Structure 1
Amino acid sequence: MKRIASLLLLLSLFSCFHVAAEDKKDYAYYGFEPDIVTNYISNRKKLGFVKISVELMVNDPTDLVALEHHDPLLRSAIVEILGNQEEDKVKSLSGREEIRRECFEMVNRLMQQETGKETVVNLLFTKYLYD
């Protein structure tokens, strides 16, 4: 009886690992080089600037070629979004998340127009500096 219980336990563990292995995706990341640096709308007399590192997460590593090809277009769109932000939004955590989400949606919209599919699963700010 103990052997049967042990065997059933092993079979259930194996099936759990098998399902987990099937659910794994082959994610890849595309990083913009160099970092993106631009001005934003400042409340002060001097210009404010923001410097960010952006990583785009995709499901399929073959999508990296399309991202690299459209890098200038995507970079320009992110710079434009950042440049139109108010200082309070740039400097707040909730504002940063709104900016990230807006960049993510724009990148996917542009990729949809250029390639016919939304390739980006997530957009990450890995560095976010402002003055």
Structure 2
Amino acid sequence: MKTSIILILVLLSSTFAKAADYAYFGFEPSIVTNYVAVKKKMGYVRLTVELMIEDATNYEIVEHHAPLLRDAIINIIGQQPESKIKSINGRHEIQRLCEDKVKELLEKETGKPLIKKLLFTQWLDN
């Protein structure tokens, strides 16, 4: 019984140690960009984006590349139709596109994707 408890504690502590290695980078200020709405009107989106960095020591590297990453996110959102901007499933797809692009750019610039996840933590559209 003691062996099982010790094993569980070791597994839990290694899980928490792994989680402690992550860092979060938030784009400041929030991203605001236009998209093409129905009937050629312009709509806009204001969103907050956080990057989950796999190793906290890579925070400064990600921060250094923030302008490039921000531009890529703005370009992706600006190309989306209103139907995607306004739907939950569309937002998830946009988030995945942004995450893939950010990982691709970081891999190109640094040799590693550096981030685990891209998160939209706030999304306001008109």
User: Normalization by structure 1: what TM-score?
Assistant: 0.90
Matches within 5 A, 1:61-100: 61-100=56-95
State how far apart, in whole Å, the 2-side matches of 1:85 and 1:70 are: 24
Q: In the alignment, which of 15, 31, 36 is matched to residue 23 of structure 1?
A: 15
State how far apart, in whole Å, the 2-side matches of 1:118 and 1:126 are: 21
Residue type of the alignment partner of 1:12? S
Question: Is 1:113 aligned to residue 108 of structure 2?
Answer: yes
Q: Which residue pairs with 1:11 in the alignment?
A: 3
Where do 4+ consecutive residues of structure 1 move more than 3 Å?
none
State how far apart, in whole Å, the 2-side matches of 1:32 and 1:52 are: 10
State how far apart, in whole Å, the 2-side matches of 1:54 and 1:103 are: 10
Q: Which residue pairs with 1:46 in the alignment?
A: 41
State how far apart, in whole Å, the 1-side matches of 2:75 and 2:116 are: 21
Q: Return 5+ residue gaps in structure 1 as ranges.
A: 1-8
Superposition deviation, residue 20 in structure 1: 1.9
Aligned length: 123
State how far apart, in whole Å, the 2-side matches of 1:13 and 1:28 are: 30
Q: CA RMSD in A?
A: 1.1
After TM superposition, the structure 1 stretch with the greater mean CA deviation from structure 2, 68-77 or 15-24, is 15-24
Superposition deviation, residue 45 in structure 1: 4.9
State how far apart, in whole Å, the 2-side matches of 1:20 and 1:27 are: 16
State how far apart, in whole Å, the 2-side matches of 1:117 and 1:28 are: 16
State how far apart, in whole Å, the 2-side matches of 1:46 and 1:40 are: 9
Identity %: 47
